[in-house]
Amino acid sequence: MSRLTFCTCIAESVSAITLAISAMMAPAAAQVGPPPLVADLVMANHILFDQGVVDGFGHVSVRNPANPERFFLSRARAPSEIEAGDVMEFDFDGKPTGGPRDKPVYRELFIHSEIFRAHPQINAVVHSHSPAVIPFGVVEIPFRPVAQTGSFLCGGVPNFDLHDTFPDAANLLVTSGDKGRALAKTIGNRPVALMRGHGNTVVGRSLKEVVFRAVFTEVAAKLTAQAIALAGGGKVKYLSDKECELTTSAGQTSGSNEGLERNWETWAKQVEAKKR
Ligand SMILES: [Zn+2]
C-alpha cells in the first residue's frame, strides 16, 4: 500500500467514526417551545379527546408568546397520542419552523395559521368535528345557548360554508391559505364558527379558554338540541343577551380565570387518572 493510499484510508475511517458519534449524540427529536406551554398543549389535546370534542381527527394550537408570528401545533397525529416531542412550530404560511420536520403535518393547519394572522388578540385555536355541533351547521335553526355555561355563544355563531367561496373545492377541508383566510373572515370577532357539513372552529385568548369554549360548545349543542326536541315545535326560552352578559361577568363562564382553572384542573385530573 502506498503512503498516499494509507493516509486516505485513515482519513476516511476517522471521518466515518466522527459521523457515527455525531449521529449517536444527536437528540432523538428537537423539541420546541417553552416546556410549560408545550405541556399545556399536550394536555389540551388529551382533555379534548377525553371530553369527546376530538376523536382521531381534530387539533389544537397556541401562539408562540416569544414570537407572535409563529404558533405551536402537533405533527399529524391522533390527539390522544400526542407527546411533547410531536409539537412543531409553524409560520403564518404554514411552513414548519421547528420541531420534527420529517413528519407529516395536518392538512388543515391553515385554519390555525390564517386565524392567528388575521386576529392578533387570539392566542389559541381548536378545530374539531365535535358531533353534537355539526347538525346546527345544516339547519335553519340558530345555534343559541339555553344554559349559562354556553353564554359566550350569545351574539351569534357564524356558519362557514366552504362551497360558498370555493364552489369547485373537491372536499370540505381547509387545505390552503386562501381557504383559511375565508374561515378567519367568517369567524370575525366571534368565539366559534360552525363549518357546514364538517365541524367547527373555536378561538380563545389562551389554551385554557379555548379548551373551555370547545368543551362547552359541545355541551351547549346537546342542551339546545334537547330543548328544541322537548319543545316539539313550541317555543324555546333561550338565554337573553342580558343574561349572557351577566352570567359571563359574574364569573360563571369564560369571563372568569377561576372558572377556566377549575374546569381545566378537573379535566386534567381525569386524564391523568385514566393513564394509571
Ligand atoms: Zn376538519
pLDDT in tens, 9-62: 444 444 444 444 444 444 455 689 999 999 999 999 999 999 999 999 999 999
Give the pLDDT of residue 170. 79
Quick check: is 27 in a domain? no
- Number of compact structural domains in the chain: 1
For residue 66, give its domain range: 35-275
Quick check: is 3 in a domain? no
Give the pLDDT of residue 168. 87
Dihedral sign, Cα of residue 115, residue 116, residue 121, residue 122: positive
CA of 28 to the centre of ligand 1 (A): 30
Quick check: is 143 in a domain? yes
Quick check: is 82 in a domain? yes
Quick check: is 5 in a domain? no
CA of 192 to the centre of ligand 1 (A): 14
Quick check: is 30 in a domain? no
Could you tell me which residue, 255 or 264, shows the higher pLDDT?
264
Burial of 128 per CB tally in 10 Å (0-12, 13-18, 19+): buried
Pairing of the two strands 96-98 and 199-204: unpaired
Quick check: is 22 in a domain? no
Q: Which of 259, 237, 136 is nearest to 195 (CA)?
A: 136
Band (248; pLDDT cuts 50, 70, 90):
confident
Band (86; pLDDT cuts 50, 70, 90):
very high
CA distances from 201 to 29, 109, 130, 256, 265 (A): 30, 12, 10, 21, 23
Could you tell me which residue, 258 or 220, shows the higher pLDDT?
220
Catalytic (active-site) positions: 108
Spatial CB neighbours of 112, under 8 Å, sequence gap ≥ 6 = 59, 61, 71, 73, 90, 125, 127, 180
- Read off φ and ψ for residue 128, nearest 5 degrees: -145, 170
Whole-prediction pTM value? 0.87
Quick check: is 8 in a domain? no
CATH number at residue 262: 3.40.225.10
CA of 164 to the centre of ligand 1 (A): 17
In percent, the amount of the chain with pLDDT more than 90 equals 79
